[in-house]
Structure 1
Amino acid sequence: MKNVKKITSVFIVMFLMISGLVSAQDRAINPNQLPKTAKAFLSGHFKGIPVSSAIEDREIYGVDEYKVYLNNGMKAEFDSSGNWKEVDGKHQKVPYGFIPVSIKNYTGRNFPNTYIVKIERKRWSYKAELSNGLELEFDRNGNFKRIDD
């Protein structure tokens, strides 16, 4: 009986490991293979900054997200439809053209000597990291919620 349990346990562990490898596969793609929405975002907000690499994150059910690395060191993440999820300036000021006006106004008014170096859009909220290291949370309408610590 002990041997049967050991063999079953080994098979379960092997199955979980193999399914984990199969389910999440990143692969490099040509930037031209990005969704139109992502390409339009990049050309509109990062004009003249070449893409150094683009990664497609595939799951069993299809593409989960795209990660784009720019030659200036910045990174942008997009959902499967090409809508932006996150822009990381890697300590550089991110372009403000896509950031909701209420977030730009709040950060400019309350933190005048800083700039946004990273912004993340979630389903119900935004998170913005400032050049001074503070992380601010906003609701989905761009209204300030709190400082994240």
Structure 2
Amino acid sequence: MKNFEKIPTVFTVLFLFVTGFVFAQDKAISYNQLPQSAKTFLGSNFKGAKPSYIIEDREIYGIDEYKVQLSNGMKVEFDSKGNWKKVDGHNQKIPYVFIPTSIKNYSTKSFPNTFIKKIEKKRWSYEIELSNGIDLEFDRKGNFTKIDD
């Protein structure tokens, strides 16, 4: 009899799990629907590159992130408030304007014949990928922590 008492709980959890997939959907949006901070970031750092498409990633609880593919091949991801999370140059040099100075200085000095082609801002750190394939990690203040394998 105890096993039958758990059935409503199992069905409730299963229902929430399934409805999460149904309502969590990506959808294409226009440039005007981006948060203002994302539009400002794109305008300041990617002059001349127009968005090819913009995807709004929705979860049950609301908007999770925005993904912007630019006409120059670069991709930028923003959080729900329009703050940049990741910039992927797809083997191109990304603009250095928004990258913390200590990260720019370290990568330029330590790896002089390379450029940053990808950067990701995480909760407590930054990860960058250089043009020679080396991945570097930095703490939130931009101090070098390690070379990532």
Match of 2:144 in 1: 144
Deviation for aligned residue 1:19: 2.4
Match of 2:84 in 1: 84
Query: Structure 1 length as normaliser, TM-score?
Result: 0.89
Deviation for aligned residue 1:15: 3.4
Match of 1:41 in 2: 41
Cα separation, 2, equivalents of 1:144 and 1:30 = 38
* Offset from partner CA, 1:46-91 (integer Å, 9 cap, x none): 0111100000011111111000000111100000000000000001
Deviation for aligned residue 1:22: 2.2
Question: 1:46-57 to 2 correspondence within 5 Å?
Answer: 46-57=46-57
Deviation for aligned residue 1:17: 6.1
8 Å Cα contact 2:20-2:59 kept in structure 1: no
Cα separation, 2, equivalents of 1:40 and 1:46 = 10
Deviation for aligned residue 1:12: 7.8
Q: Secondary structure of the equivalent of 1:132?
A: coil
Provide closer, same or farther for how the CA distance between residues 126 and 82 of structure 1 changes in structure 2, counting only shifts above 3 A.
same
Question: 1:58-73 to 2 correspondence within 5 Å?
Answer: 58-73=58-73
Cα separation, 2, equivalents of 1:132 and 1:54 = 29
Cα separation, 1, equivalents of 2:60 and 2:109 = 45
* Offset from partner CA, 1:3-45 (integer Å, 9 cap, x none): x8xx99xx68973663242242100000111000000000000
Question: 1:1-149 to 2 correspondence within 5 Å?
Answer: 15=15, 18-149=18-149
Alignment size in residue pairs: 146
Cα separation, 1, equivalents of 2:40 and 2:123 = 21
Query: Structure 2 length as normaliser, TM-score?
Result: 0.89
Q: Which runs of 5 or more residues in structure 2 are unaligned? A: none
8 Å Cα contact 2:20-2:60 kept in structure 1: no
Q: Secondary structure of the equivalent of 2:99?
A: coil
% identity of equivalent residues? 66
Cα separation, 1, equivalents of 2:67 and 2:113 = 30
8 Å Cα contact 2:56-2:67 kept in structure 1: yes
Q: Secondary structure of the equivalent of 2:94?
A: coil
